[in-house]
Chain A
């Protein structure tokens, strides 16, 4: 259980350091407006968009868990879906072009779309389902109503904790570059995470399928 919550936090930190999730936008906002507060606003908007993307993926799964007898199949299906997304990103290495069509001031929308396009929410699904599964086992056979509410709340908590970790990591990099390191470090710290990211999805998906089989 604790390990899974650490995975939620770790995935948040991991999403946060990925420039594809938006920290360079926070640097740019602060520099363009020449105000510290612009960075805070940008980070908040990015966090909000990311949170929405997480809940948009997690909530439907939390509702599906209402079908208790299908729980294992749902977990296996979800794992396969995450693996499929990873493989898709491995094969299709082209960048989602529509992200460039978003107006630079609509950061929350951008963050939401970026997270969706990269399958950031999907990466959390197997972890989330694992947490729900353990939680449900612990509480025994409760009424479906209570179970569903419990899963719903868990989804929101997972999304919140993940987004907080993501904001912390991304915000820290943005602030460091803005206040101390300078823009030279922008291109220096920018690593191509495409491959690692796609592989992460595959690994998390495999973990989901495995965990469903062994029954955790």
Chain B
């Protein structure tokens, strides 16, 4: 408990953009086959440091088979919510869930170079207190830390629907299920909100049997993965509207609301359209009558390919699907970054007009067929995947692994974990930084990145940027 608000809490997104830049990054390291322990890599991001771009510390957990994926902070700018009146939490702990084990680690990163495990929540406790399994996305918000899960109860996680649970932001005790009325929501993936406007949006991947042992091609082709987004009355904990994006829009994953809380719109990435293999971005917004709407505003076409160059899964299609697996929105709500994990491309769209995004920049790296090399001459395994933007919007970091078993299906010959960085031009445009290339320890892959002091997919701002 501090006497003053944590200096990394900002009233508005604009103030966060003006704050000092990041000097450390935290990146998930995962063992794809569960033979090693997973961990968090602490990466030096201070360009004037001798160890710039190197892993300077690792927190390796004592268990194996956790499979780290997403993670997040115990507290962020949402603590400045005028409703709380108590802004004195510290941004100090990373909440790191294992999506395979359902175990949750609380890691103390007060001193990044001495980061250590603060507390471990065993899977049994999570099952008993929430009925959920496979914890995933973390957001700090009203009443505590919100965690989305991918599975319900039972061994394969299909006993009851998955949902969100709440955790105390100081003691890390699990409080219980969030939902009071989930409506038709029966799958889960990502969620985010607008705190002053009091709404939340959630998305759908698939149930555990549809992803844990790899993508199930029959389920995909029969459109059985998630294709709806849900709108919630955040404080009433009630699903108020569900929008079906269309059965063919398989796997509606990342939800990115505008950071300025006066805006009532955001984006959602769809991995693949099963009618034409396109990747897509939907813009969702609240209309004048208070109803939620969604419209496809970006499509990315597949690229024809020789079946000999394709993994078994894709041979029948003679094309590489873009596979939009992650998106991220800069704090000024200007640029949306779209990872095309299959093609091996990172796109930058100008979304100043959210209904008419314009491609502003592009970087090619990796890819199922293209195998674009990094400008430093080295290979990049898989394709651009988890993307994180610096608060000032000038640097874009990303890693390469999607999910252990899926990496192996789409990229059967690739292995390795890498993190790279691209610089954003004055008026848009994206260029890979030749000197930033983090190669992860052998046998470990890389997934989500968090930046010291907050980033573009962490903090929720409670006041408008005026």
Q: Which residues of A contact B (CB under 8 A)?
A: 18-22, 24-25, 27-28, 31-32, 34, 93-95, 97, 99-104, 110, 114, 183-184, 186-188, 190-192, 194
A184 partner residues in chain B, CB cutoff 8 A? 11, 15
Across the interface, do A31 and B466 meet the contact criterion of CB distance under 8 Å?
yes
B235 partner residues in chain A, CB cutoff 8 A? 100-103
Q: Which residues of B contact A (CB under 8 A)?
A: 1-5, 9-12, 15, 80-88, 142-144, 170, 195-198, 235-236, 261-262, 462-464, 466
B86 partner residues in chain A, CB cutoff 8 A? 20, 95, 192, 194
For the A-B complex with A99-B85, A183-B463 known, give 12 more contacts whose Cβ atoms are closer than 8 Å. Answer: A20-B85, A22-B82, A25-B83, A31-B463, A95-B84, A97-B143, A97-B144, A100-B235, A104-B83, A184-B11, A186-B11, A194-B1
B198 partner residues in chain A, CB cutoff 8 A? 103-104
Smallest CB separation, A189 vs chain B (Å): 10
Instruction: Determine the distance from Cα of A7 to Cα of B330 in the docked complex, in whole angstroms.
Output: 50
User: Known: A100-B143, A104-B196. Is A191-B84 also a contact (CB below 8 A)?
Assistant: no
Across the interface, do A25 and B82 meet the contact criterion of CB distance under 8 Å?
yes
Where chain B touches its partner, the secondary structure class is: loop
Across the interface, do A19 and B466 meet the contact criterion of CB distance under 8 Å?
no
Q: Show 20 A/B contacts (Cβ-Cβ < 8 Å), sorted by A.
A: A20-B85, A24-B82, A27-B463, A28-B82, A32-B262, A95-B85, A99-B83, A100-B143, A100-B235, A103-B235, A104-B82, A104-B83, A183-B463, A187-B9, A190-B5, A192-B1, A192-B4, A192-B88, A194-B1, A194-B88
Smallest CB separation, B287 vs chain A (Å): 19
Across the interface, do B83 and A102 meet the contact criterion of CB distance under 8 Å?
yes
Chain A residue, CB-CB nearest to B18: A184
Interface contacts (Cβ under 8 Å), in number, total 95
Across the interface, do A24 and B85 meet the contact criterion of CB distance under 8 Å?
yes
Interface centre among A99, A102, A188 (most CB of B within 10 A): A99
A114 partner residues in chain B, CB cutoff 8 A? 85
Across the interface, do B3 and A192 meet the contact criterion of CB distance under 8 Å?
yes
Chain B residue, CB-CB nearest to A42: B82
Instruction: Determine the distance from Cα of A191 to Cα of B88 in the docked complex, in whole angstroms.
Output: 8
User: Known: A32-B261, A95-B86, A103-B198. Is A187-B11 also a contact (CB below 8 A)?
Assistant: yes
Across the interface, do B85 and A21 meet the contact criterion of CB distance under 8 Å?
yes
B262 partner residues in chain A, CB cutoff 8 A? 31-32, 34
B11 partner residues in chain A, CB cutoff 8 A? 183-184, 186-187
Across the interface, do A94 and B170 meet the contact criterion of CB distance under 8 Å?
yes
Instruction: Determine the distance from Cα of A104 to Cα of B464 in the docked complex, in whole angstroms.
Output: 15
Across the interface, do A32 and B80 meet the contact criterion of CB distance under 8 Å?
no
Smallest CB separation, B198 vs chain A (Å): 6
Across the interface, do A192 and B10 meet the contact criterion of CB distance under 8 Å?
no
Across the interface, do B15 and A191 meet the contact criterion of CB distance under 8 Å?
no
Instruction: Determine the distance from Cα of A28 to Cα of B197 in the docked complex, in whole angstroms.
Output: 11
Smallest CB separation, A56 vs chain B (Å): 20
Partner of A27, one of B5, B82, B87: B82
Across the interface, do B463 and A191 meet the contact criterion of CB distance under 8 Å?
no
Instruction: Determine the distance from Cα of A111 to Cα of B463 in the docked complex, in whole angstroms.
Output: 19
Smallest CB separation, B390 vs chain A (Å): 20
Chain A residue, CB-CB nearest to B2: A192
Across the interface, do B463 and A28 meet the contact criterion of CB distance under 8 Å?
yes
